[in-house]
Amino acid sequence: MEIFGKTILELRKMLDEKEISESELFEYFRKRIEKYNPSLNAFLTTCEISNEENKNGILNGIPFSMKDAFSTKGIKTTAGSRVLENYVPPFDATVFAKLKNSGANLIGKTNQDAWGHGSSTENSQYFTTKNPWNLGYVAGGSSGGEGASISAGLSVFGIGEDTGGSIRMPSNFCGIVGLKVTYGLVSRYGAIAYASSLDTVGPMAKSVEDIAVILEQIAGNDPFDATSTDFINPPKYTSKLKNSLVGKKIGIPKGYLEEGVDPEVSESIKNSLKIFEKFGVQIVEIDLSTTKYAIESYYLIATSETSSNLARFDGIRFGNNRESFGDEAKRRMMLGGFTLSAGYYDAYYKKAAQVRTAISNDFKKAFNEVDVIITPVSPTTAFKIGENINDPLQMYLTDVYNVSINLAGVPSLAIPSGVSNKGLPMGFQIIGKHFNEETILNFGYKFEQETDFFGVIKKGLERYKD
């Protein structure tokens, strides 16, 4: 009985037809974690199978993992930091509560850059997660543990947090699918904050259909989160995956596939656009010129908010004292404190906020012309462990194509498009209008079905097959 690489719906069928029991499925993944995690460093904490059951839930009995940024009652939650190395929350994050109500079984909490500060998990205060495709390379960040776990088949799906690419980057580097949702679509209640106006909670999985299935369970209004959507009943995302793309338009921002992008990555995306043209999609060049200021704007806003958010971790009520903060957290708190200080607020933070508005307006203008926008996720494939860690600015620039999307608050789907000559995954992201996840999932699903990159990625990881 083969389980490796199966999707949520394939496992759902196996469970429903009694080919395997919930406990047997959970044990299968638990043993895989024992076997492969010592070399991958994906998990920080593993869990026992839940005794709670919801026989009507589509995710009932499906093992999943979560980035260690989410509160889980009775289960240690560290946010990748030594400050919280012994913290056990007294409540559940809303996203976790919803998944439990759908019957899913949490198998473990995964490694991340401490507080979400990073693009490679090298800022985790525990260990660096390694890329399943090549252990000498990073898995991405900050949700790198999730990317490695799903890619190597240690969990069926996962939940990450994306502030400036932290779902999309590890998805891209590890050859899986990851969705950065519209700001507010999924509740942030119980998620340990990095930058509150940029943080989003979203699914990571093997296929676009899996992403749609998970999103139907976790999206919607939450009275505990004042920034959450008014949707009481979110759209049925799985029902629109197969819609025709004839007459649709894809926007390609000027220069995005040229300067600074690895030629192999650029060529992969250009070949992908030809696939969309077969569906009757028109490719249109658009202008997103203000996004060239996105990195500067993002890091001024994000560090300002993180300096405020991390001020609560003083070691008095819970957690260790501030001496336990790592270098990257200290760097961002100092920068944020400076940006918000008297005499500098107008010169830095206020201008960054104005740039953010300009970037958001640019996206709105572009979506008057096109249905979706396609860009790289990263200028390169995964980089070597240690390659950028001593150059913070270079590390920040790896998210150059991601942060503008968080500033604008729009959704984006990272999807694989091939494997490089070095044997590392490549991909792109499909960006949509606010609360228009069904459209980007539709584009992603049609592409995935036509190219079978799901099969290509699965074959590339056969070294992890039982």
Q: Which residues carry out catalysis?
A: 67, 142, 166
The whole-angstrom separation of Cα 183 and Cα 170 is: 20
The whole-angstrom separation of Cα 228 and Cα 91 is: 19
- Please count the CA atoms within 13 angstroms of the CA of 147 that sit on its side-chain side: 41
Q: Give the contacts of 332 (CB within 8 A, at least 6 positions apart).
A: 117, 302, 303, 306, 307
Burial of residue 156 (CB within 10 Å: 0-12, 13-18, 19+) is buried
Take residue 74 and report the two structure tokens written for it: 């009775």
Q: Give the contacts of 355 (CB within 8 A, at least 6 positions apart).
A: 290, 293, 294, 296, 297
Find how far residue 187's CA is from the centre of its chain: 15
Alpha carbon dihedral 376, 382, 387, 391, in 10-degree steps, equals: 30
Strands (E) in 317-411, as ranges, are 372-375
The whole-angstrom separation of Cα 243 and Cα 440 is: 11
| C-beta separation of 284 from 277 below 8 A | no
The whole-angstrom separation of Cα 237 and Cα 243 is: 11
